[in-house]
Each structure stands twice: as C-alpha cells, then as structure tokens.
C-alpha cells in the first residue's frame, strides 16, 4: 500500500473513531455546545488532552499556512474545517494525503 493510501485510510479512521464517541455524548446529553465543552474540560486529564490538542491544532494550522505560502502545500481552509468539525486525527492525515498528490503533480511538472 502506498504512503498516500495509508494517509487516506488514516483520515477515514480519524473521522470515524472520534465521531463514535461524539455520537455517544450527543445521545446521552444532547447537542448542546455548552455541555460538550464542559465535557472536554471535565477533569484535569481531559483538560490536559484537550489543551494538547488545541495547541497541536494551532501549530498544524500555522505550518499549513506557511507551506501554502511557499507553494508547497494545498490550501488550508478545508483542513481547518476538518479540524474544527471532526478533529486533528482526520485533518492531519487528510492534509498529508493531499500534500502527497500536490508533490506528485510538482514532480510530474518538472
């Protein structure tokens, strides 16, 4: 299996797994954003994981914008939307999948 296909599989897994848990939360508590945010910071370990994820997402966004400004990566908007609506576990491998395609196109043009 190619690296590009591995990224695609990981992006799909990265979408399915978080939503499995999100759906459990929504069934139990409802769709309230307040209760969802409260659950993200429910205790110190959850707060630590959430903080880590927020910081890592910010670093990912900065790196995407930088790479895009150099003409080395795809536009960041889709991947920011994926990060906010699904999570970094989907957005990062999706970005790497798209970047592989971008690199293949650049190599073919050379």
- The alpha-carbon radius of gyration of the chain (Å, integer) is 16
The dihedral sign for the CA sequence 85, 11, 8, 55: positive
Task: Return d(Cα 42, Cα 85) in angstroms, integer.
Answer: 20
Q: What is the mean pLDDT of residues 5-27?
A: 95
Reduced to 3 states (helix: H, G, I; strand: E, B; else coil), residue 40 is helix
User: Are 47 and 59 within 8 A, CB to CB?
Assistant: no
Q: What is the mean pLDDT of residues 70-81?
A: 96
Per-residue pLDDT at 33: 87
Per-residue pLDDT at 103: 62
Which residue shows structure tokens 């910071």? 41
Task: Return d(Cα 37, Cα 82) in angstroms, integer.
Answer: 18
More confident residue, 4 or 104: 4
Q: What is the mean pLDDT of residues 32-46?
A: 91
Task: Return d(Cα 104, Cα 92) in angstroms, integer.
Answer: 18
């Amino acid at each position: 299996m190619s690296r590009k296909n591995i990224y695609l599989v990981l992006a799909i897994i990265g979408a399915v797994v978080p939503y499995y848990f999100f759906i459990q939360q929504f069934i139990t508590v409802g769709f309230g954003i307040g209760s969802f945010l409260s659950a993200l910071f429910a205790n110190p370990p959850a707060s630590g994981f959430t903080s880590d994820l927020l910081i890592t997402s910010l670093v990912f966004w900065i790196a995407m914008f930088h790479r895009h400004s150099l003409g080395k990566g795809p536009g960041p908007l889709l991947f920011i939307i994926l990060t906010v609506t699904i999570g970094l576990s989907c957005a990062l491998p999706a970005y790497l999948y798209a970047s592989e395609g971008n690199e293949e196109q650049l190599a073919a043009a050379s």
